[in-house]
Structure 1
């Protein structure tokens, strides 16, 4: 059977190489260079005797280097492999448009995309167009590190396999807890200024009514002698910075994708529930009382952080308070609040039960001639010690902050971040891309990051007991037809729902417009969207 598999892989590669050869020379992507003919390598082992080149598209934060080859992680990889990477790097906030433009030019495709940022819909679309290729045989033949992860965690293989039986991408996998204890269970944690509460002699609020009184006290009492207090701030409809968590006091809450799975395993849309309407009305009363930052509906990340670093917030929302404020010790995670009818619910995020999964993290294109070389190079990213560095950062950089210390036993210990922003220090070193970090690595390969353990402890102690829903929508790989329909419906539904959410909080009118809103949502395909989502949820639980 093994020999048969090898022959199958060789036949597949041969057909692909013939197709590429017939297509003639292909212009390369990266620094304007032209892709030159290379020797197709077999029986690859690292380091190569002669230097070989692969070309990849990737992205980087605007605050970090835009030349990946300047990063210590990639310098070490080149020395280890003798493989040079011709990078085309786009700034992260422009990546989606730049990437799509690059992939539309089939005569100048790179070998692959390292940080591909592809949804399952994108994977199927680009596969159908012949832009990207299936990789399951490459995984089984040339990628022992990734194969081991998938063999030991069959749910992951199921998640990344399309309905046609093909795998079109190399995933990013990060385990940090599971189920309700998974670190991704809640994204938009509400952080409240405990120092101000203590100064004003106030208790941590436990109900929505009590929160209103606390915010009014922040507004009126000039804590710390400040006259620039912002009682509550957020970034509306911006994932972890959105205030949707508080809507759990009125029912299902409002998770990032607005999709909820009930205890009866029914898929519902949070933004059309009666409790949601009541919660939006409550938010509008906060707006009328000048308890909400007037810039919360328009501000970008830089403005949000600047006010936080200035110490102006009584309450704000984000994944990690240290990303927003300098005085992190002043803030605590606000527990889920009881609403008017006593409802207490800490809303969970879709896809969080299995911790972090990004199916479409890395792909190979039809222009890649050196498939064995590319597969084996990518497989190095799944070595445990390499995955840990790619995800968080590295060690041994002189004169710079290092994420890790390399111990004598070869393990990596997270260094104390001190007052540094976790996001900023990791962006300076980490490269992302395809990788796998399993719970079994903690204590054997690396330590758990202090900020991650801190967050896990907060979830365990503060929120898990109030997570009312037993299920969240899983990672599901839909057929191309269904993926296209879901994308089509969701784009319009979500756009309209989020538009009205912002409008109603700012200007009111949810009660008067509610019936027309529901009718419009239905006209945009809400029932059909939920029907497709339900089909895949049923299939998930049936397996």
Structure 2
């Protein structure tokens, strides 16, 4: 009898395991790390300092060319160390060397406590997260990061975006305040003084824009007796395609997806570079290029050369963050364009997700002070923390003006040493160059996107913005393996053909052959993966 009962028990257990395997439940992934008693005893759960006895954390941090060479000598980090009782041992890595340094470090057993502004790719976040090298954040965020927790509750699309297919969070995000429209939008600019000279109104349609560009080419608007005006000039063609997508009805889920959007008829996910709307857009841009209305060397021009030409007053229109800050005095003649109406209407698609970046703050399993580390980072999601991070210290680097707005002191804007504003700022703060975790709000962020002209440009576009923006998708390890080769081939081919169609080196009579070639490159499998990723995002 005993043997029979054992057999029955084994059958029941096997049946239950089979049910569990078929249930489709997500794997819980790595366990949340246990926090030691010594860590908790040394931690202040609220207020400052964060720890009773000083601790040192090792950060590997990406450094832009605009930032100081020694972070511990900057006002920001000296002040924050005094506030928190946490010393940071900064290992600074130039931005252009981050990929190599990350990969080398992850192949060794010697890890930093935190990867900071190291632009960790999503596939690596999942790969090393599932291996337990990057810690699982879900419960830890809720327990030790009240400011971030409140933001994730306020903006659920951000929480959905940072959650991986296994249900886990492995990094701390950069969030753009959804109310700060200027930082979310790519803006097109036009010479308002040239519009006046030509007797033209602000372009409202793609036809109006074409007529303005044509008039610029045919008129000596800068009065130097030469035919050197460039109707549209920029550092790349991508800015122009970005601001025109709405007029042609492609890219309708925002700038994070350069190839995917939602089919307006079926509401299914779509690979839009083979759509008729995309073709119509390329036909229009090809017309501009073939008539000399777009800078001839736009595919090869160096950024500094383009900036110099803008500063010389040669551009009639452009897509750039701020002509005022990049072109100097000449930039004051530019004003933001509104959305252009085309065959698909005038909704504006050149906007990005509030989830700006995911790979800017990752805690590794080498970290022995996890609660203190997370409290250290959480402060920068508060209003006071954002103020410190972006502005520094009141009356040392910034002041409050008569309107209650924060402004950098004159010594920052007009350096007594003759330095640029960025060079002077680098003595005090480290946000220049981007990639930082935290939240970007209009009140505390004083980059180009906060200038009156850029805010005004964003306001012109706001009534025509998309209701839903997709952040970058996350994929399973298996999906990443398949996508890596599929994307490498498909995206490269699409990009190359876009350039050829625009410049006329490939005629539009080859369009159908181009579409068929994209499909032959594994588009069906590619789209199947993207469809699953979209479903997961929506169900997170």
Q: Please state which band the TM-score falls in when normalised by the shorter chain.
A: 0.7 to 0.9
Aligned-pair CA distance for 1:152 = 4.8
Residue of structure 2 equivalent to 1:205: 203
Residue of structure 2 equivalent to 1:85: 88
Residue of structure 1 equivalent to 2:513: 516
Distance 1:207 1:436 in 2: 35
Return 5+ residue gaps in structure 2 as ranges.
1-30, 415-419
Residue of structure 2 equivalent to 1:249: 247
Summarize deviations over 1:339-391 as a string: whole Å, max 9, x none: 4xx44334425753xx344233200112222323322322333332112442x
Cα distance 1:309–1:63, how it changes in 2: closer, same or farther (>3 A)?
Answer: farther
CA RMSD, 1 decimal: 3.7
1:450-489 equivalence runs, <5 A:
451=450, 455-462=454-461, 464-465=463-464, 467=465, 470-489=467-486
1:64-79 equivalence runs, <5 A:
64-79=67-82
Cα distance 1:541–1:143, how it changes in 2: closer, same or farther (>3 A)?
Answer: closer
Cα distance 1:471–1:231, how it changes in 2: closer, same or farther (>3 A)?
Answer: same
Aligned-pair CA distance for 1:48 = 4.7
Aligned-pair CA distance for 1:47 = 6.0
Aligned-pair CA distance for 1:55 = 1.0
Aligned-pair CA distance for 1:247 = 4.2
Distance 2:285 2:223 in 1: 27
1:95-174 equivalence runs, <5 A:
95-104=98-107, 106-174=108-176
Residue of structure 2 equivalent to 1:216: 214
Residue of structure 1 equivalent to 2:313: 311
Aligned-pair CA distance for 1:191 = 0.9
Larger Rg, first or second structure (1 or 2): 2
Aligned-pair CA distance for 1:99 = 2.7
1:277-288 equivalence runs, <5 A:
277-288=279-290
Is the contact between residue 66 and residue 91 of structure 1 (CA under 8 Å) also seen in structure 2? no
Look up the SS of the partner of 2:151 in the other structure. Answer: helix
Residue of structure 2 equivalent to 1:364: 363
Is the contact between residue 324 and residue 332 of structure 2 (CA under 8 Å) also seen in structure 1? no
Matched length = 488
Cα distance 1:148–1:252, how it changes in 2: closer, same or farther (>3 A)?
Answer: closer
Residue of structure 1 equivalent to 2:260: 259
TM-score (norm 2): 0.78
Cα distance 1:245–1:157, how it changes in 2: closer, same or farther (>3 A)?
Answer: closer
Look up the SS of the partner of 1:252 in the other structure. Answer: coil
Cα distance 1:174–1:185, how it changes in 2: closer, same or farther (>3 A)?
Answer: closer
Residue of structure 2 equivalent to 1:291: 293
Look up the SS of the partner of 2:214 in the other structure. Answer: helix
Distance 1:310 1:438 in 2: 33
Distance 1:262 1:125 in 2: 32
Cα distance 1:209–1:58, how it changes in 2: closer, same or farther (>3 A)?
Answer: same
Distance 1:526 1:416 in 2: 54
Distance 1:280 1:424 in 2: 40
Residue of structure 2 equivalent to 1:334: 337
Residue of structure 2 equivalent to 1:36: none
Distance 1:416 1:194 in 2: 30
Is the contact between residue 58 and residue 114 of structure 1 (CA under 8 Å) also seen in structure 2? yes
